[in-house]
A and B are shown apart, each in its own frame.
Chain A
Amino acid sequence: MFDTLSQRLSKVFDKLTGRGALSEADVTEALREVRVALLEADVALPVVKDFVARVKDRAIGSEVVKSVTPGQMVVKIVHDELVATLGTEGVELNLNAVPPAVILMVGLQGSGKTTTSGKLAVRLKAQKKKVLLASLDVYRPAAQQQLEILARQADVGSLPVVMGEMPVAITRRALEMGRREGYDVVVLDTAGRLHIDQELMAEVAAVRDVAKPVETLLVTDAMTGQDAVTLAREFNEKVGVTGIVLTRVDGDARGGAALSMRHVTGRPIKFLGQGEKLDALEVFHPDRIAGRILGMGDVVSLVEKAIETVDHDEAEKLAKRIQKGKFDLEDMLTQFKQVEKMGDLKGILGMLPGIGKMAAQLKDAKIDDKALGRQKAIIQSMTPAERRNADLIKASRKRRIAAGAGVSVQDVNKLIKQYQQMADMMKKVGKMGQKGFARHGLAGLLPPGGGGFGKFGR
């Protein structure tokens, strides 16, 4: 039900053909769509307003780079601003303290604190830290047991549970055990609480005063809606947050809460929870979350690369041929050359959303960067007639080609097979037509113009 931003923007910019500097009218119209996209991604309204205002200031008067549409230009500016707002990536945990360093986990009920505590333990253990997990959740039934089990799975220390003990007392005991047994890190997993529950907020503040944590991590569900601003601000004001962990990023929520929380707290997003397994915790990549909030994968960075390197005329020609369902060895050669210019192939494929199956096919076809040179040589050893019609290439021709390219006949066979796979694929892509390209996020599979970068998202 959510149109991607690129689809929306293309609707707006189909009407515009002007080039040169972005006018206020261009920008205003584009930003109306950006606002909608951000709201649909659950970015909180005050944050959206502020953000859009900032982008507007930056965008008006910006030169539209040649060969890029105004729409793409605005998307680029929006994306850059999003990345800048989301902050730098890979902010590691601060463990600068007299051991044991204390990490305090806080958040609403059901946000994923306990699971994240287990994941952090696994991560720290891999960094050769001795980790103690202690549950202060004396409210939710079996919460302490849950953490105990996770500690066992992670093979780290766990504070023995004493029934009826209150959180501050548990904290003291955890610190004591941490010191006595030489732990590097103590992770305190608190009960889920509402930011407006004064009693429980006072309790966690008391725990903080005793534990003096070096890190207080606010754990929040990536699905959180408009309330993200309120809860982040309240937790930050009442407990003091040093970093944010966004969980359930493996779901299909657009994750606008990340922007909201970063905006109101100014704290870095440190980790992303990516699944239920204990190793599913990743450092934060602003690029990825920005692309997701905008609803367009990392197409932006692909566009950037393409703009830098690709010969548009070549690309347009190739795209037209593919749309007619034509794809011969000559085209394949052109494509290899383009790919070479764009750099690492896997990197490029990795940037594209929704390319899974195609990427797998290409992997089967074993296009790797080192092989590219050889493959080019094979095609270059063919006659023009052979390049246009691969069916001509029978045994003796293959031997000649192999000799010419300095490879074995098997290599030639492999290339022809690969060509056939690609040709089949291109036929399918061609059938999907212009619209299909954008919808399936395939644009980048083909070097630019493949429906394409030039007129992105039509």
Chain B
Amino acid sequence: MSLFGFGKKKDETPAPAPAPEPVPEKEGWFARLKGGLAKSSSRLTTGIGDLFTKRKLDDEALEELEELLITADLGLATAQRVTRRLARTRFGQDVDAEDIRAALAEEMAEILTPVAQPLAPDFSRKPHVVLVVGVNGSGKTTTIGKLAKQFRDDGRSVTLAAGDTFRAAAVEQLKVWGERTGCPVICRDTGADAAGLAFDAVAEARARGDDLLFIDTAGRLQNKQGLMEELAKVVRVIKKQDETAPHDVLLVLDATVGQNAHSQVEAFKDMVDVTGLVLTKLDGTARGGVLVALAERFGLPVHAIGVGEQAGDLRPFAAEAFARSLVGLG
């Protein structure tokens, strides 16, 4: 399925079987299946043989399935829970590969469906204020650019605030997006106070009667207490303009990130009350399975996924398709 465009690209990737790997791995049915997935060519390498072979879903098979999920970054605990749930109904049954992967996907889709909620701004607020936060390099500015484009295409008036006053040329980066999407960009020089800028941005967007205001922020590692407090200050200052703002706080997560995503969500949620997630960089080979664990643990809405650098490369999060991609089904 072309939703993420993974399938196609993955087929082109040559076999990345770990070079020095003397693991005495039995070339079992699921192992082959998994190997195929590691090669990222989901459907082709599943092999015709597998389609005709049935196997009992025993402990060993379950372990292989668990490992399949681990390689998708679900994390050990979640991978175990999901496979155990599958075992409850299917243990001891004869199953085929396609079947069992679909069943696994269903288990995960069940966890993910409740969190698949698109961003739904209330335009009557004039402006609906969206604060965008995350660690360095997760894709905050690019995500804002893409969101701005979507809402502009819907005929909304959007303002961007270049709140990353720290990183060199971050302001310029957002300005380029402003030009591309035809949105005014409120900015100050690098080194200026981010909270002050946010305050002015809300005032200005309100004076103009804009539908939406996206406020960019500097990337910060979640364990940097000082920087996190600075972010809390940005929120406090925004509230001085509008008690109800920010109406959405988006945490942008990089799909390449592994289990550290837990720590990111936890810390940002504590500090600025994150209301939703965006998962970026899903056009690579990282599958972002940690999202399943996050959905289980935090239940935060996932608003969108990023699949490229172009303005159009932001898609709604579709639980079922995402779950299927985690087990290598297109």
Q: Residues on A close to B: CB < 8 A?
A: 1-2, 36, 39-42, 44-47, 49-50, 53, 108-112, 139-143, 145-146, 148-150, 153, 194-198, 221, 223-227, 229-231, 233-234, 237, 248, 250-254, 256-257, 263-264, 266, 276
Contacts and interface: CB of A to CB of B under 8 A. Distances in A.
Given A139-B309, A231-B285, A248-B135, A40 B256 contact: no
Given A47-B18, A252-B223, A253-B258, 4 more contacts: A46-B21, A194-B281, A221-B137, A230-B13
A227 B256 CA distance: 6
Interface string B51-76: 00000000000000001001111011
17 contacts: A40-B259, A44-B71, A46-B23, A47-B18, A142-B176, A146-B167, A196-B10, A221-B256, A221-B257, A223-B256, A223-B257, A227-B287, A250-B221, A250-B224, A252-B263, A257-B258, A276-B166
B155 interface: no
B16 A230 contact: yes
Contact of B173 (A47, A112, A141): A141
Nearest to B168: A149
The 7 closest A-B pairs by CB, nearest first: A225-B258, A110-B137, A141-B176, A42-B258, A146-B169, A142-B172, A227-B286
Contacts, number: 178
A53 B23 contact: yes
B172 A145 contact: yes
B138 interface: yes
B308 to A, nearest CB: 9
Nearest to B178: A141
Contact of A229 (B18, B222, B257): B18
Contact of A198 (B12, B16, B166): B12
Contacts of B283: 194
Given A141-B173, A226-B72, A252-B222, A109 B309 contact: yes
A226 B258 contact: yes
A441 to B, nearest CB: 16
A142 B256 contact: no
B14 interface: yes
B136 interface: yes
A279 B78 CA distance: 39
B221 A248 contact: yes
A197 B173 CA distance: 23
A374 B107 CA distance: 69
A276 B191 CA distance: 14
A57 B211 CA distance: 64
A205 to B, nearest CB: 14
A225 B137 contact: no
B169 A145 contact: yes
Contacts of A46: 18, 21, 23, 38
B20 to A, nearest CB: 7
A195 B284 contact: yes
Contacts of B285: 194-196, 227, 230-231
A110 B138 contact: yes
Chain B interface size, under 10 / 10 to 19 / 20 to 34 / 35 or more: 35 or more
B49 interface: no
Interface in B134-184: 135-139, 166-170, 172-173, 175-177
Contacts of B309: 109, 139-140
Contacts of B25: 49
A149 B290 CA distance: 36
Nearest to A110: B137
A233 B19 contact: yes
B42 interface: no
A230 B256 CA distance: 11
Interface in B234-255: 254
A253 B136 CA distance: 13
Nearest to A48: B70
B286 A140 contact: no
B9 interface: yes
A233 B286 contact: no
A141 B167 CA distance: 14
Interface in B210-225: 221-224
A436 B260 CA distance: 25
A263 B309 CA distance: 30
Contacts of A49: 23, 25
A141 B284 CA distance: 21
A251 B21 contact: no
A41 B73 CA distance: 11
Most buried by B among A2, A41, A46: A46
B173 A109 contact: no
Interface in B246-284: 254, 256-260, 262-263, 281, 283-284
A29 to B, nearest CB: 17
Given A45-B67, A251-B223, A194 B22 contact: no
B22 A50 contact: yes
A225 B18 contact: no
B40 interface: yes
A301 B281 CA distance: 39
A140 B176 CA distance: 10
Given A40-B76, A194-B284, A225 B257 contact: yes
Contacts of A112: 136-137
A403 to B, nearest CB: 50
A53 B22 CA distance: 9
A36 to B, nearest CB: 6
Contacts of B67: 45
B24 A53 contact: yes
A257 B254 CA distance: 15
B71 A143 contact: no
A139 B176 CA distance: 11
A195 B13 CA distance: 9
A146 B281 CA distance: 21
Contacts of A229: 16, 18
B134 to A, nearest CB: 10
Contact of B256 (A198, A224, A251, A266): A224
Contacts of B258: 42, 223-226, 253, 256-257
Contacts of A141: 172-173, 175-177
Given A46-B21, A108-B284, A230-B40, A225 B256 contact: yes
A202 to B, nearest CB: 12
A251 B260 contact: yes
A145 B172 CA distance: 8
Contacts of B13: 196, 230, 234
A1 B263 CA distance: 9
Most buried by B among A44, A45, A109: A109
B296 to A, nearest CB: 12
A172 B290 CA distance: 42
B169 A142 contact: yes
Contact of B257 (A142, A198, A224, A276): A224
A1 B264 CA distance: 13
A264 B71 CA distance: 15
